[in-house]
Amino acid sequence: MEFIEILGLVAGICTSSSLLPQLIKTVKTKEAQDVSVFMFIVMLTGNSLWIYYGFAKSDLPIISTNFLALGLNIAMLVFKYKYRHR
């Protein structure tokens, strides 16, 4: 794996894992009022398109990190739904 691929993976881990603190905070406080459902739906669309783009360009960092982000966004939507009455 080339240096630039590794750098791309680190970039993708950063932009994807930036969803984690929000996810952890939501689980801990059981509050998700300040989190927009719309934001996550738009992001899911974006992640799916990026995965398609990554496959078309054979770009491993784009494919792998958008799969990661897709999983985290789905998890966040589940918690948003779970804590909807608080």
Contact 47, 66 (CB under 8 A): yes
Residue with tokens 């897709």: 70
Name the minimum Å distance from CB 56 to its own copies: 5
> Which of 28, 30, 31, 82 is the binder for its own copies (CB under 8 A)?
31
Report CA torsion sign: 70, 74, 79, 85: positive
Residue with tokens 């932009």: 15
Residue 22 in contact with its own copies, rule: CB under 8 A: yes
Q: What is the C-alpha to C-alpha distance for residues 41 and 37, in angstroms, rounded to an integer?
A: 6
> Which of 10, 71, 78, 82 is the binder for its own copies (CB under 8 A)?
10
Indicate the SS3 state at residue 16.
helix
Residue 1 in contact with its own copies, rule: CB under 8 A: no
Name the minimum Å distance from CB 30 to its own copies: 11
Contact residues: its own copies, CB under 8 A: 4, 7-8, 10-22, 25-26, 29, 31-36, 38-40, 42-43, 45-47, 49-50, 52-53, 56-57, 59, 61-62, 69
